């Protein structure tokens, strides 16, 4: 079974600063995908970024980028130039190509962006 | 394209009752997955439907069931409600349900069991 661990329950960052959210996972699979989802307060979950495990290049999406270390089973999210609208719960998630549609989520990191 | 929609958004039930939640996927998506989100257990996978067939199931009791219709809309049913069933129920749709396809989430149905 796969597990996803997010060791930072809460984080705070000032507007315009950079913050990194940590995620580690455990799996015996070789083909899988990793995701970061954002869930703003009382709003729906949206995809922030995704990474294919077979790709060595780290994914980037505007101000969001990941540091994917496959050997270490680490998948951290970096948010640059933080904005107030980035305030949300961030979930790291894993899906194996062999387990249709079953996302395994971490416990989440609550990020607060302050002025 | 319209996003994933879920109805109702809020529900209050009492113990022992049953409830049905509905999910309409993004047009063209054939896979619908359901997740339960609680403060204590986090996000847990319930089941996934593809082309009207349950393809994958999480570790939940048989009181939790679902189905999918020919238009890909899905319903989940919880019978004999317990206090611990209070949660946000999320559905997500994707084109094929395989790992390569991103799952898009609906706003959720918040169920409160009294």
pLDDT of residue A41: 86
Burial group, residue A76, by CB count within 10 angstroms (0-12, 13-18, 19+): middle
Determine which helix (DSSP H) or strand (DSSP E) holds B56, and give its type and residue range: strand B53-57
Give tens-digit pLDDT for B29-42: 999 999 999 998 99
pLDDT band at A70 (very low <50, low <70, confident <90, very high): very high
pLDDT of residue A100: 63
Strand B104-105 with B10-13, pairing? unpaired
Give tens-digit pLDDT for A19-37: 999 999 999 888 899 999 9
Distance separating alpha carbons of residues B16 and A106, to the nearest angstrom: 31
CB contact under 8 A, B48 and A96: no
Residue A90 sits at the chain B interface (C-beta within 8 Å): no
Residue A34 sits at the chain B interface (C-beta within 8 Å): no
The predicted model gives A52-60 an average pLDDT of 91
8 Å CB contact between A58 and A65: yes
Residue B8 preceded by cis peptide, ω within 30:
yes
The predicted model gives A77-102 an average pLDDT of 91
């Amino acid at each position: 079974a796969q597990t996803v661990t997010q060791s930072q329950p809460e984080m705070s960052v000032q507007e315009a600063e950079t913050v990194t959210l940590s995620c580690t996972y455990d799996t015996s699979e070789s083909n899988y995908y990793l995701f970061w989802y954002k869930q703003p307060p009382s709003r729906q979950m949206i995809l922030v970024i995704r990474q294919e495990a077979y790709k060595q290049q780290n994914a980037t999406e505007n101000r969001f980028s990941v540091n994917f270390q496959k050997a270490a089973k680490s998948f951290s999210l970096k948010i640059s130039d933080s904005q107030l609208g980035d305030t949300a719960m961030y979930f790291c998630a894993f899906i194996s190509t062999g387990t249709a549609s079953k996302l395994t989520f971490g416990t989440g990191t609550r990020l607060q962006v302050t002025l | 394209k319209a996003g994933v929609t879920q109805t109702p958004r809020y529900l209050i039930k009492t113990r022992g009752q049953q409830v049905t939640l509905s999910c309409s996927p993004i047009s063209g998506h054939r896979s619908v997955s359901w997740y339960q989100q609680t403060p204590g257990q986090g996000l847990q996978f319930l089941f996934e439907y593809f082309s009207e067939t349950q393809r994958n199931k999480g570790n939940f009791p048989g009181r939790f069931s679902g189905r999918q219709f020919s238009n890909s809309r899905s319903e989940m049913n919880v019978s004999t409600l317990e206090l611990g069933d209070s949660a946000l129920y999320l559905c997500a749709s994707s084109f094929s349900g395989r790992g390569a396809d991103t799952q898009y989430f609906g706003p959720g149905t918040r169920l409160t069991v009294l």
